[in-house]
A = this chain, B = another copy of it.
């Protein structure tokens, strides 16, 4: 028989790239294994995975919200409420009983769109009766619970790409899920550039330019991806710009794909608040088809491993909702652990309830730590020669620009790597810190960046390592 070879497989698979778990991350895992050897000979004693927003991972150890986990433990083994009655606060017991009455066992498939009761809770969260969200109605029938936001994004991109000439507008820099999904589903990425000199702001004219360019090449733009707060940039879009973006989608008949998974990660909420696109579309009474994605992996929840999230469709016909339902039904249902995680996120303990004080303390601590680390890291990175870094007002990342010299570029060429990948590999080899080179997110020709998360404990030590590495790099390769 013929051996199975790469060229006998779907060519789209080879085009997919996902740098967040790419070469750097794979090498980091090998180094982590090597550290377990007694005489490993490495110049560091731990690997710090700053390549991915994974707050609860070993070494970062952001603690989970106790309320979420107490509810989850009771859902796993409901008898605990009787066997250890004094261990759980009453509101946790009540919540688990309420969910059990609706769901039954977390070991059963739920409705393919997600447990109806939890979708109702999500709708109330979006409406904002018990939170700070929109003040406009939301319909549980238009909400799909998902296994994290990624699953929903991939599905929607797959749905919109109806020919090899169909494209989706994506920001540069972008979260590589978008280019990866487009490669897999054979759509054309239509890049538009964010304005680094203006705090990574989104410029409506630059999107119109990208649309005009795509038209010239016979590409049909089908959707516009907006990541707000930005990934990797951390930027927040102001409401006036959001309105213009919605109008732009109207003008060009685009589906607006709003990646809003970092909506709760706001470090400067007074000056950089979050406004949902659902609110803007509702306020404008716009007919723009909108999909808003949210997740329990980010925010203060940080429950990446549960795989939970949702998307809400606005201005979608019933027949398209039915089509989406059919597609998700083939995968049966999103993980129940993720679904009950969504419930905890959208219905946190309220003032006066037994779990509220601890919940408040835990969430305040996470918010404050992230805001303070982000500020310190941006400030100190900005003092380094050849480094400039927008101080992100949101999300979990910084995306510093680094000037890389001719000597470094030549060295990268010899190594057959992008210059920022060479920088990131050297950083990993010398400090154990794993970041993702800007080439994985996209950047202007001749510019170099990397993305790092602001999740590390011990920020002084951490930034110290970044600093001394960078200074040694400059010593070796120079600045021009």
Contacts and interface: CB of A to CB of B under 8 A. Distances in A.
A297 B4 CA distance: 30
A52 interface: yes
B253 A1 contact: yes
B1 A250 contact: yes
Interface string A15-28: 01110111000000
Nearest to A286: B1
A54 B323 contact: no
A377 interface: no
Contact of A107 (B8, B255, B302): B302
Given A52-B109, A305-B105, A335-B307, A72 B77 contact: yes
Nearest to A176: B330
A76 interface: yes
Contacts of A282: none
A289 interface: yes
B73 A77 contact: yes
Task: Tell me the number of copies of this protein.
Answer: 2
Interface residues on A, range: 35 or more
Contacts of A20: 329
A318 B386 CA distance: 40
Interface string A281-306: 00000011100000001000011111
Contacts of A180: 330
Interface in A11-64: 11, 13-14, 16-18, 20-22, 29, 52, 54-58, 61, 64
A305 B162 contact: no
Interface string A236-272: 0000000000000111110100000000000000000
A312 to B, nearest CB: 15
A154 B80 CA distance: 38
Nearest to A71: B76
A472 interface: no
A447 to B, nearest CB: 25
A108 B56 contact: yes
Contact of A323 (B2, B6, B151, B162): B6
Given A76-B73, A159-B10, A4 B320 contact: yes
A350 interface: no
A18 B177 CA distance: 27
Contacts of A332: 21, 148, 150, 304, 307
A150 B331 contact: yes
A137 B77 CA distance: 35
A338 interface: yes
Given A9-B162, A21-B332, A54-B108, A255 B305 contact: no
A349 to B, nearest CB: 16
A8 B307 contact: no
A319 B83 CA distance: 51
A395 B73 CA distance: 31
A84 interface: yes
A109 to B, nearest CB: 4
Nearest to A2: B253
A323 B73 contact: no
B69 A76 contact: yes
Given A18-B329, A330-B16, A5 B317 contact: yes
Interface string A137-178: 000000000011011001000111110000000000000010
Interface of A: 1-6, 8-11, 13-14, 16-18, 20-22, 29, 52, 54-58, 61, 64, 66, 69-70, 72-74, 76-77, 80, 83-84, 87, 104-112, 147-148, 150-151, 154, 158-162, 177, 180-181, 184-185, 222, 249-253, 255, 287-289, 297, 302-307, 315-317, 319-320, 323, 326-327, 329-338
**6 tightest A-B contacts by CB?**
A84-B84, A305-B336, A337-B337, A21-B329, A335-B335, A58-B104
7 contacts: A6-B320, A13-B158, A18-B326, A54-B109, A61-B105, A150-B331, A154-B330
